[in-house]
Amino acid sequence: MRNSIQRNLVYDIIQVSCDHPTADMVYLRAKQTMPKISLGTVYRNLNELVELGKILRINVPGDSDRFDKMLVKHSHFFCEKCKSILDINEINLNDVVNEIEINNNIKILSNQISLYGICSKCQEKK
């Protein structure tokens, strides 16, 4: 697959986003730079970027998929009130995965540890 102006724009939007955007969020941001871009083009380019290993897709149960620029192994915290997603880079979680491999004599090729709760901003709003 060759690069296109649209794919580069979608990729750049993900790279500067700190909020794990949905495809619709990427589309709205892309329209600011390229008003004639279609939602289908955004979806297609997001899917291609995921397939190429340039970005990660985060499956959110009961909600739209989100997209992540961070390719290194990490976990996510999902706020059940405001729907924000935080990256969790806890070494201890990786240790747990390693221990599961050792204890069960298996090789885990990938994992996606998801934590659910209430973020600090929502806790302050009580």
Rounded mean pLDDT, 9-22: 96
Do 108 and 56 fall within a single domain?
A: no
With contact defined as beta carbons under 8 Å apart, do 1 and 42 qualify?
Answer: no
Interatomic CA distance for residues 10 and 3, integer angstroms: 11
pLDDT the model gives residue 12: 98
Which residues, in sequence order, are bridge partners of residue 88? 75
Do 57 and 88 fall within a single domain?
A: no
Query: Structural domain of residue 25, as residue ranges?
Result: 5-68
Do 56 and 86 fall within a single domain?
A: no
Do 40 and 90 fall within a single domain?
A: no
Do 100 and 62 fall within a single domain?
A: no
Inform me whether the pLDDT recorded for 66 exceeds 60: yes
Inform me whether the pLDDT recorded for 1 exceeds 60: no
pLDDT the model gives residue 2: 63
Do 33 and 12 fall within a single domain?
A: yes
Rounded alpha-carbon distances, angstroms, from residue 125 to 34, 114, 117, 122: 37, 24, 15, 5
With contact defined as beta carbons under 8 Å apart, do 55 and 69 qualify?
Answer: yes
Give the pLDDT confidence of 73-122 residue by residue, as tens digits: 788 999 999 999 999 887 777 788 889 999 999 998 877 788 999 999 99
